[in-house]
Amino acid sequence: MGVMSISRLVLAFLILAAFMAAIASSSQAQQILSGSPGDTITYKGEGPANSDVTLEVSASTTIGVSGGSYSSSLNGVSIPSGSNSFRILVSPVQTMYVSGGPSWLGAAVTREGSVSGTAGSYSINNVPAGRYSIRVYGTPASGASSVTMTVTASGPQHVGPDGRYTASISTSGLPAAVYTVRQSGQEVARVYLGVPAPPTPTPTPTPTPTAAATTNVTPAPGDTTIHMESATPQGSPMGSQASASTIPSPTEKISHDITNEKVTTESKGLDLAMMAATGVAFLAILGGAYLMLNGKSKR
């Protein structure tokens, strides 16, 4: 194999190892958080050390149609300091308007949203910190009995030198709903605000099936009957019937499947890390071969 071919293989394995290491480091288990409207939700995340990641929170609610219009008000929404971005989507609609201002001011500024087809949208960036009252309203699409509104807020979050960070999410003025938390586009948590969170399954030990032992008796000459003796004592509740293997109940099988799925999920990060380590080992071997061949070629 030529020196150029080995160089290309070294480069390929270098890219593969870097890719696997990046996947292993970015994998996070999804968190389930809960609270009531007005609470401050604490989310603990991970990311590249000494870097900034984008944290995004979004939720969808349904607005009823009454008198040929739709309207939803959010009062006392808390906007944190720093860089931020907000986006409101409504559908299906004909028109969309957003009015809002500081809660203490008692006055609002109205802006018209952009409507494409039956989807309306409005975005605003770098809103000053404070509490705001916001109203979204307009005309729904013809024949619509309800309108879906999705609100998304995002901003930068600094990751500490240990690769961890803690974010405080204020839910002041927000309606009860299921909120999705994303870090740099990847879903990392769900917040059940004012709605029941799904129960956490508790794995239960699965009994080990025990096969019934049988004894074959050699038939006497001329006897074509094969005799089988049950290992179950005659005095047992089973009588003289053969003992069957213990078959897990449907509930036990579901618990067993949940346990297997959890173990599989938790082992993914380790598998990826091992793959990255294997790639690095290949790099070391190929690098040594490259240096040896390169030295021979120079001679």
166-188 burial: b if 16+ Cβ within 10 Å, else e: ebebbbbbbeebbbbbbbeeeeb
Residue type for 72, please? S
Q: Looking at residue 295, what is its pLDDT?
A: 53
Q: Looking at residue 222, what is its pLDDT?
A: 57
Q: Looking at residue 30, what is its pLDDT?
A: 85
Mean pLDDT across the chain, nearest whole number? 75
Q: How far is CA 14 from CA 35, 48, 140, in A?
A: 45, 20, 55
Q: Looking at residue 208, what is its pLDDT?
A: 72
Do 147 and 117 belong to one domain? yes
Averaged pLDDT for residues 198-225? 63
Residue 230 has pLDDT above 50, yes or no: no
Q: Looking at residue 191, what is its pLDDT?
A: 96
| CATH code: domain of residue 158 | 2.60.120
Domain assignment of residue 272, given as a range: 1-29+196-216+243-299
Do 62 and 189 belong to one domain? yes
**Residue 232: inside a domain, yes or no?**
no
Do 124 and 208 belong to one domain? no
| Structural domains counted in the chain | 2
Q: What does residue 274 show for φ and ψ, rounded to 5 degrees?
A: -65, -40
202 DSSP assignment = -
CB atoms within 10 A of CB 84: 17
**Residue 284: inside a domain, yes or no?**
yes
Do 55 and 162 belong to one domain? yes
